[in-house]
A and B are shown apart, each in its own frame.
Chain A
Amino acid sequence: MHEYGIVSTIVNTVLKELSTRNMEPEQVISVNMVAGKLHQIIEENMQFAFEVLTKDTGLSGCRLNIEFKPVRIRCRACGTEGEVSGAFFLCGACQSHDVEVVTGKELYLENLEVRDE
């Protein structure tokens, strides 16, 4: 997955949000995002990209927090829901392969924590 592309979208979105509220980048304490595990995002790469892309800007030094959502599937045959940890998408109850993904595809910027000055 393309950590730099995602982080670049995050930084641009944060700056746009701040601008519409007449806030300064220096007020941001943390940027909080959610990533489903299906995207195979590597946290280390995200943090490095965030550090590089915010260096020498008003956002430098603020935190990037990533909440990873597990991959959960629902069996179309028996309705059982469960978490998947590896590559195999198989119902834990009836072993059916006919399953749908319930969570794990998320990729969004959730909120910003800012100092109210």
Chain B
Amino acid sequence: MSNLEIKVYKNLMGANEEWAVKIRSVLKEKGVRMVNIIGSPGCGKTSLLEYIGKHGTGEKTPVPFAVLEGDVETTKDAERLNVLKIPVSQLITSGGCHLEAKMVYHALCDLDLDRIKLVVVENVGNLVCPAEFDLGEDAKIAVLSITEGEDKPVKYPMLFREAKACVLTKIDLLPHLKFDLPACLEYVKQVNGSIPVFQVSSYTGEGMDDFTRWFIGV
């Protein structure tokens, strides 16, 4: 009796990647782009989308986008967007802390992709797990509210490293909080020196036009 080595070389994220490839194929065929918005619960992801749905780029240009809304429970966020006539599908993970490509693929196929140019995935509120999963998107966007503290880019580096842009929300609260903005910008730069950082408030509208123009042109 002797020992044998069986070579396997199996990618352990392979199943998710197969679905991500299918998503890319559907998006390419329909000429639709997709962005994946990731941030903590309550950082203002849905408010960003509400603002864009209401105001567009500020130039009265309609922004035809649909939203795949990921949440652990309830349809509350989808209801907020539905009021604004934004096509939205709610994905409830029932405890799951992130969206995976298989769920997104099926939800994507239920959308009328001939009538939209942009699909926005609002991921489950979480700075860790969603960053790991390729959903076939064109870009991940890291959303950080200033109430969370300036150190989050270095505490949760993977998200900021994977993202193609960072959005700092709730900047209207800057005068009221001990938030070190220059330090935060430096932390983002240290983790990922190549991404733009948009400083916005979906409450006052500050910075939203610039972000919206970037967002719809991804």
Contact = CB atoms under 8 A, between A and B. Distances in A.
Most chain B C-beta atoms within 10 Å of own C-beta, residue among A29, A38, A87, A88: A87
B192 interface: yes
B10 interface: yes
Nearest to A101: B161
Nearest to B11: A108
A86 B190 CA distance: 11
Contacts of A10: 12
Interface stretch (B1-9, B24-32, B50-58): B1-9
Contacts of B189: 97
B158 interface: yes
Nearest to A99: B193
Contact of B13 (A14, A29, A89, A107): A107
A41 to B, nearest CB: 10
9 contacts: A13-B12, A33-B12, A40-B158, A86-B154, A89-B161, A108-B11, A110-B8, A111-B8, A111-B9
A35 B157 CA distance: 17
B3 A29 contact: yes
Contacts of A113: 3-6
B217 to A, nearest CB: 22
Interface residues of A, number: 34
B18 interface: no
Given A1-B132, A9-B12, 14 more contacts: A14-B8, A38-B161, A87-B157, A89-B161, A89-B191, A110-B8, A111-B7, A111-B9, A112-B6, A113-B4, A114-B6, A115-B1, A115-B3, A116-B2
Given A2-B129, A109-B8, A117 B154 contact: no
Interface of B: 1-13, 15, 128-129, 132, 153-155, 157-158, 161, 189-194
A51 B189 CA distance: 41
A97 B194 contact: yes
A116 B10 CA distance: 22
B129 A1 contact: yes
Contacts of A17: 6, 8
A7 B194 CA distance: 34
The 4 residue pairs across chains A and B that have the minimum distance between CB atoms: A97-B193, A87-B157, A87-B154, A112-B6
Given A10-B12, A13-B8, A109-B12, A96 B193 contact: yes
Interface string A73-117: 000000000000011111000001111000000011111111111
Interface in A22-38: 29, 33, 38
A110 B10 CA distance: 7
A74 B192 CA distance: 14
Nearest to A100: B194
A62 to B, nearest CB: 12
Given A9-B15, A116-B1, A88 B6 contact: no
Contacts of B8: 13-14, 17, 109-112
Nearest to B157: A87
Contacts of A98: 193-194
